[in-house]
Amino acid sequence: MTTYDLTLKVHRYDPDRDKSWVQTYQLTAGRILRFVDLLRKINDEQDPTLAWGSSCEHGQCGTCSMKINGKPLLACELLVENAVAQFGTTTFTLEPLGVAPVVRDLVIDTEKAYFRLDKVKPYIIRPKAQPGEGKEHLVDPKSLERYVTATRCINCFCCTEACIASHHNFLGPNAMLATIVRLMDDREEEKEERLKCLYSNEGVYRCHSSRACSHVCPKGIDVAHYIALAKAGAF
Amino acid sequence: MADRFKIRSTVKCDVLIIGAGGAGLRCAAEILERRPGARIIALTKVSHPQKSHTATAQGGLAAVDPRDPNDANIFHMFDTWKGSDCTADQNVVRKICESAWEQIIWLENRGMHFSRDPQGKLSKRTFGGHTRNFGEASAFRAVFEADRTGKGIMDTGWGECLKRGIHFIHQTVAVELLIEDRHCAGCIAFQQKNGTFVQILAKATVFASGGSGQVFKVTTNCRQNTGDGLALVMEAGLPVMDPEAVQFHPTGIVGPGILASETLRSVGGILRNKDEEPFMAKYAPKMKELAPRDLVARAIESEIREGRGVMNPDHQIQHVWIDLRHLPAEVHERQIPEVVSFFKHYVNLDPRTQLCPVRPSNHYHMGGIPTNEFGEVQDAGQQIVDGLYAVGECAAASFHGFNRLGTNSILELITMGKHIGDRIIERLERESSVRSDIAPCRFQEKFAGYFAAGGADHIGQIRNILRAVMTEKVSVFRTEAGILEAIETLRELDERARKTKLTQQSTAMNQELVQRWELDNLLAVSMAICQAALHRKESRGAHFRDDFPTRNDAFQYHTLVSTTDEFGKVELGRREVDMTIFGAKGENYEKFGLIERKY
Ligand SMILES: Cc1cc2nc3c(=O)[nH]c(=O)nc-3n(C[C@H](O)[C@H](O)[C@H](O)COP(=O)(O)OP(=O)(O)OC[C@H]3O[C@@H](n4cnc5c(N)ncnc54)[C@H](O)[C@@H]3O)c2cc1C
Ligand code: SF4
Ligand code: SF4
Ligand code: FES
């Protein structure tokens, strides 16, 4: 059985004392344990006070995002042996995302990160008239194909973390994506308000096309492509 | 110190939703749409509603399209009844099946991104157990959004509620229901982020807190599914129904238990034991790998029990293999790409060239908080608890009886969510104020007790033992001796838990504190499962007793379990199964009698 001797340097924060520090944990782990398993192992064997977040633990909900050796990613999708290969080390630094204030240790105030989304109205603002009782709107699969990958977004905020512009005024790539989806969706009639939001001073013009968002997205969404479409005035 | 457990504030609202998953939000959306301005508070244990478990449902939701000349509601009802092993309630089955399509359209019109056929209409696919003409041929009845149907429901429900001004309280758990004389006035909630307690008073309270999968070591369920809802109602003196009805999916990916869909077997995947021998022919000579879920799960478990399983060294879990190596590249790329990517992501294997580790994984809790067809919660005497409703996986109306069909759960969320919304709207027209005279009586003592304990035990380790014993003794196979052993272990664990000291005194984002509280819930739910499983001396649906391997219709009723002051001592009751479709003696009524569950 292959095992790895790992060193995890975890950025911690104690709200009661308003104190931050980096704590080092040593542990031995099998090759296919995920980083969420490592955190649980630390809780069970060494330190029950270390706080971290997860929910689905299989890449479907975006709760466990954090920075590992500087890269925003989902801790439930990172296996020990892949991490060692990818980063070329057995020492890992774990930090919370910077997109919202830290509550404790690796847990951030996700609700505040979501304020960015709430601003772009992630729903149909003004729906097209219902096509008749018991009937769906017809949506051409070819037209759906153009934006369907964007609907895979789980709002993990990895892209927003990676996007330098998002740390200032920009609402961020995933918020832009949410509004772009509804611009491409024929069932939304309120295009004007959406365009206003897209081209506002918190909108796509803040993006400087670094493509970091596409690079880190765990769902493989080419976020920068959609933003480039918006910047080119495709809608 | 005791100050920490004081109620910081009291808020009043029209409707309190405990659990902002698919079910809770569908209910809230209905009320907000039809009664704009209604004040609704929704609690969610996760960091944001979108992170709820519903977001992981993959396959689809069943609904008969009235335009489909080959399908009919009565066939969907029959499949559900048969699948349930004659323990679904027929009034509920009728209600859900008949309103299914309307609810699909509700979602579509509000922007869910369903997959489409070439004409632009909703695509449909077939699922195990869904047939037309009473079992004659497969029905194409499940609509879906690629492999993320649940996420589509979650996103739509969340969006609609946001649009219409719901008030969410995130990362917050209900810790005590305010109930007196069969009336519910709201709950006490613990806000994890700042570690404070609030009292929420409502004209109507809806439990929608989801499943209880964390009772078992290997589960497809998310980390927060610790059966809180069931534990809270039992604490409030109410029963749970059919807790022994727990479904296991045959192929969870080792170790975390992530669901590897049935498709793997339907495209030709072969199950092999540690000697790489195919073994399904031994258990189901004709159907082999295509046998129903529970049969396959028992076959795998038998191989493991008889020493032909393989131990995964990293997760310390026994499994068998699924062999997909012989399938053409096209199948890998086109028919099973998601599952193939799961194996790559979570076990770092390439299913094209390597055997993949799978084992039965806990999947769904059919049992739950007993309600009538309007979602109104019932007490042990089947009287309604005024102002309290339950919906979704935490509830048992019961649509699934002892075995749920794939795609029927998320259908239940959106249909029952809507119906309960209707019922609450009527209630809001009657009730002009909340009741503020029901005082909490348990949570302070409980939380103070957690902090007062002084022993050196460890909550995480106690939880791990609980999950292991439930998996070994009370999952796919059950026997009297095994269940009794589990009950004994649970008693010991309860004792140990009571003595365990918390490492940290703060209440703010104290994960260990929440886990301590969850442990009580896991213990209570596990005990209810054990006691009901012990009582039910027959095999029915997903409940399989090795010592009573066949169905015995003397047990064709719902089990009600109420707890007493002594941990482990329960009171059992029964509720008759509603058979109104059969009783009405209409066309095809005989299909709704005590039929065999044979496929
Ligand atoms: C991998 C997987 C695939 C599935 N695929 C399908 C499928 O294809 N078709 C199908 O029909 N079904 C499927 N299911 C089943 C289905 O997803 C669930 O049964 C369903 O989503 C449950 O929804 P819910 O709204 O009842 O609960 P959830 O979505 O779990 O929501 C519960 C909510 O309650 C909150 N909560 C929990 N406890 C508390 C508390 N104490 N206080 C306050 N809030 C609380 C949670 O945070 C959450 O917001 C699948 C399940 C899994 C695991
Ligand atoms: S491409 Fe634009 S949105 Fe994406 S990371 Fe770069 S600046 Fe941000
Ligand atoms: S676009 Fe990708 S990285 Fe960004 S929030 Fe969505 S899933 Fe995460
Ligand atoms: S916990 Fe859901 S994505 Fe990692």
Q: Residue B186: which of B214, B169, B207 has the closest Cα?
A: B207
- CB-based burial of residue A141 (10 Å sphere; 0-12 exposed, 13-18 middle, 19+ buried)? middle
Whether the predicted pLDDT of B1 surpasses 60: no
Which of B116, B121, B348 lies nearest to residue A144, judging by beta carbons? Answer: B116
The rounded distance, in Å, linking the Cα atoms of B271 and B276 is 8
Give the ligand at the shortest distance from the Cα of B220. 1
pLDDT tens-place string over residues B238-286:
999 999 999 999 999 987 889 998 888 888 999 999 999 999 999 988 8
Cβ of A162 closer than 6 Å to ligand 3, yes or no, is no
Q: For residue A113, is pLDDT > 60? A: yes
- B181 has pLDDT over 70: yes
Contacts of B461 in chain A (CB under 8 A): 44
Query: Edge-to-edge strand order for the sheet containing B137-143?
Result: B61-62, B137-143, B125-132
HSE-CB at B438 with a 13 A cutoff on CA atoms is 22
Residue B225 has pLDDT above 70, yes or no: yes
- Given a cut of 70, whether residue B45 has pLDDT beyond it is yes
Q: Which domains does chain B have, with CATH numbers?
A: 1-58+150-245+366-568 (3.50.50.60), 254-360 (3.90.700.10)
Q: For position B598, what pLDDT does the model report?
A: 83
pLDDT score of B475 more than 70 = yes
> Looking at residues B550-569, what average pLDDT do you find?
97
Above 90 in pLDDT, residue B294? no
Residue B599: is its pLDDT beyond 80? no
CA-A173 nearest atom, ligand 2: 3
> Using CA atoms, how far apart are residues B52 and A67, in angstroms rounded to an integer?
22
pLDDT > 70 fraction of chain B, expressed in percent and rounded: 100
- Annotated catalytic residue: which of B26, B148, B293, B423? B293
Residue nearest atom 35 in ligand 1 by C-alpha distance: B19
Residue A96 has pLDDT above 60, yes or no: yes
Residue A171 clears pLDDT 60, i.e. is over it:
yes
Residue B157, pLDDT above cutoff 70: yes
How crowded is the C-beta side of B120, counted as CA atoms within 13 Å? 10
* Structural domains of chain A ordered from first start: 3-107 (3.10.20.30), 110-232 (1.10.1060.10)
**Start-to-end CA span in chain A (Å):** 55
* CB-count burial class (<10 Å; 0-12, 13-18, 19+) for B137: exposed
Identify whether the C-beta of residue A37 lies closer than 8 Å to the C-beta of residue A79: no
Given this model, what pLDDT does residue B331 score?
87
Closest CA to B212 of B396, B59, B444, B478: B396
Concerning whether B293 is annotated as a catalytic residue, the answer is yes
Q: Which residues face A12 on adjacent strands?
A: A21
Mean pLDDT of B1-11: 86
* A 103-142: CB under 8 A from B: 103-104, 107, 109-111, 114, 118, 121-125, 127, 130, 134-141
| pLDDT digits 0-9 by tens, A19-45 | 999 999 999 999 999 999 999 999 999
SS3 B520: helix
- How many angstroms separate the alpha carbon of residue A214 from the centre of ligand 3? 8
- In the prediction, which pLDDT does B547 show? 97
The alpha carbon of residue B599 and the mean position of all alpha carbons in its chain are separated, in whole angstroms, by: 24
pLDDT in tens, B101-137: 999 999 999 999 999 999 999 999 888 888 999 999 9
Residue B97: strand, helix, or coil? helix
CA dihedral B530, B536, B541, B543 (to 10 degrees): 30
Cα–Cα nearest to B143, from B117, B121, B120, B125 = B125
B52, B21 Cβ separation under 8 angstroms: yes
Tokens at B246, concatenated: 């727990």
pLDDT digits 0-9 by tens, B345-360: 999 999 999 999 999 9
Question: Which among A34, A40, A151 has the least Cβ separation from residue B113?
Answer: A151
CA B494 to chain centre: 24
pLDDT score recorded for residue B124 = 94
- CA nearest A142 in B: which residue? B118
Banded pLDDT at B2 (limits 50, 70, 90): low
- Mean pLDDT for the stretch of residues B549-568: 97
- Assess A22–B contact: CB distance below 8 Å, yes or no: no
Residues 6+ apart with CB under 8 A from B385: B179, B182, B183, B184, B238, B376, B377, B378, B379
Q: How far is the C-alpha of A184 from the C-alpha of B155, rounded, in Å?
A: 17
